[in-house]
Amino acid sequence: MNTAPAGLISEARRVLKVEASAIMGVASRVGNEFAQAVELMAGARLVHVSGIGKSGHIARKIAGTLTSTGTPATFLHGVEAMHGDLGIVAEGDVVILISRSGECMEMLVLAGTLQHGRNGEGYTLIAITGVPDSPMAQYADVVLDCSVEKEACPHGLAPTASTAASLAMGDALALAVMGLKGFGPDDFRRSHPKGVLPAGGSR
């Protein structure tokens, strides 16, 4: 890579274009399964968002966005869930599982445990994955396709475009649920008593 300022600027533009293209690709594939996921989340007691590694960071951010926009949510760590934290999942909940490959062993164990352990309990599994027919997706009630053509990483290794796509899908879900619930500026202000809100929403 050219390390001169012009080369660095060019690299920034390349990365941003790859990630923007990835998000637009996901947008073009959004269908009825998205509407189904939104309706399930809007009616949930709690939404739990789970992932491992970089997908775990994305899951934590999605849970935060949901909570701040009127949908109570938790981050459910994919490993800690198997050591007691799974006890938070109950009747009427939605669990969102995030994995680019859909083959992460920890997430497969969690997904399998959730599916087989329902015993009639009414909670729902939603998968956000880059491989819609992956093993993890097979456990889900609703699958959201976040596949990308390539990562922005020049080596094709670091999760970049794929995490951007998953994060954007999470934002789309959160804001669609917010709209469905009628969560407005006054509600937002109540949940951000110490926040500096953008113009139009500031106190």
Nearest to 166 by CA among 103, 120, 99: 99
Nearest to 78 by CA among 98, 47, 50: 50
Beta-bridged to residue 73, according to DSSP, are 47
User: Which stretch of DSSP H or E encloses residue 143?
Assistant: strand 142-145
> How confident is the prediction along the chain (203 residues), in pLDDT tens digits per residue?
778 999 999 999 999 999 999 999 999 999 999 999 999 999 999 999 999 999 999 999 999 999 999 999 999 999 999 999 999 999 999 999 999 999 999 999 999 999 887 655 679 999 999 999 999 999 999 999 999 999 999 999 999 999 999 999 999 999 999 999 999 888 888 877 766 667 655 44
Nearest to 147 by CA among 38, 21, 60: 21
Instruction: Return all residues near 147 (Cβ < 8 A) that are at least 6 apart.
Output: 25, 26, 129, 130, 131, 132
DSSP class of residue 109 equals H
The residue ranges of every structural domain in the chain are 5-191
Alpha carbon distance 43, 123 (integer Å) = 11
What is the architecture of the domain spanning 5-191?
Answer: 3-Layer(aba) Sandwich (3.40)
C-alpha Rg value of the chain to the nearest Å: 18
Amino acid in the structure at residue 130: G
